Amino acid sequence: MHRRKIQLVAGTTYSVSLPKAWVKKNNLKKRHEIIITENNNRSLVISPYALEDKKISEISLNVDDYLENIDQIIFAIYYLGAETINLFSKKGLAKEAKAKIRKTITHMSGTEISYEDKNKITLKVLLDKSKIDINQILYRISLIVDLSISNLLEDLDIVEIRMNENEIDRLFHLMTKIVSLALIDSKVLLSSRIRNVSLIPSYFLISKKLENIGDNINHLCEYLHKCRKSISQEKLLELVKKELNRSTKHLLAASDNVFRKISNAEIAGIKKKLAEINDKAISDYLEDIIRFTVDIEEEIINISFYRKMIKDSIL
């Protein structure tokens, strides 16, 4: 942290000197422009103007170089904020590659195919990232998880479970995109309501753990559907619903009161109930779901503590 005194120049202009090491690190010179953004807590974020020029608006990719991993490569480009993605093959796009591309974009919010021929597919990302609220994404994911658990407990509808799983995946990739952009773009950091880079790791981990919970619920339901079985320990899933609801409420309230996670006594009781389940597959899925739920609560403790530090002007 650097401390500077405000200087009054010619009786009308206030100025503050920049840290020399920061100026050199960003290769700034006399007359170069910088960006100054005001936070809601009255603090200022200073960024090199050059960062604006480094944003990737369009990228072209030879699909033949990444065929086995083309889906993940497309996601990686999506996370970087590219608005136009040109995918081509000099030999012609194979049927398998086209199928992977089409499946991938179903998980990419605001993305559509704008052009296609036998050698090329162009994707357009039509997403206003300035209107994405990170807390609302997490709320929507947790709500879908809640719906899937209710589906499982009441009357298993495997079609609805699969639809929910796809929507959770789509929201997770959107969350990853916004978190990635918030690291390099102060405007997104503020508009997403993350507001402080110290919170970014916890926000990402929460979204990943929610996705993990969604995956495990989906796998559990597929197993129950295939084997025509039912859950005997409904209270464990009811507990997950209750804890996720409590966690989400704390996030949405933007509280700086340190969150209280599930007690060790409750965790011991959960382990005892898990041990009573004879079907190991069901037990393993439930154990993972509960473990990820506790992981989320630990990250919310971090966020609530960091918020307190931000409020106290320590961060």
pLDDT in tens, 103-153: 999 999 999 999 999 999 999 999 998 899 999 999 999 999 999 999 999
What gap in Å lies between CA 163 and CA 182, rounded to an integer? 29
pLDDT band at 51 (very low <50, low <70, confident <90, very high): low
pLDDT value of residue 30: 85
Distance CA 83, CA 59 (A): 9
Long-range contact pairs involving 273-276 (C-beta distance under 8 Å, separation at least 24): 273/233, 273/235, 273/236, 274/233, 274/236, 276/233
CA distance 126 to 110: 5
Q: Quote the pTM value.
A: 0.85
Q: Domains in the chain, ordered, with CATH?
A: 7-53 (no CATH), 58-125 (3.30.1370), 131-311 (1.20.58)
pLDDT exceeds 70 at position 6: yes
Residue 8 has pLDDT above 90, yes or no: no
For residue 56, name the pLDDT band (cuts at 50, 70, 90): confident
Res 1 pLDDT > 80:
no
β-strand 44-48 against 58-62: which pairing, if any?
A: unpaired
Output the average pLDDT for the chain. 92
- List, for residues 268-307, the tens digit of each pLDDT value: 999 999 999 999 999 999 999 999 999 999 999 999 999 9
Say what the pLDDT of residue 132 is: 94
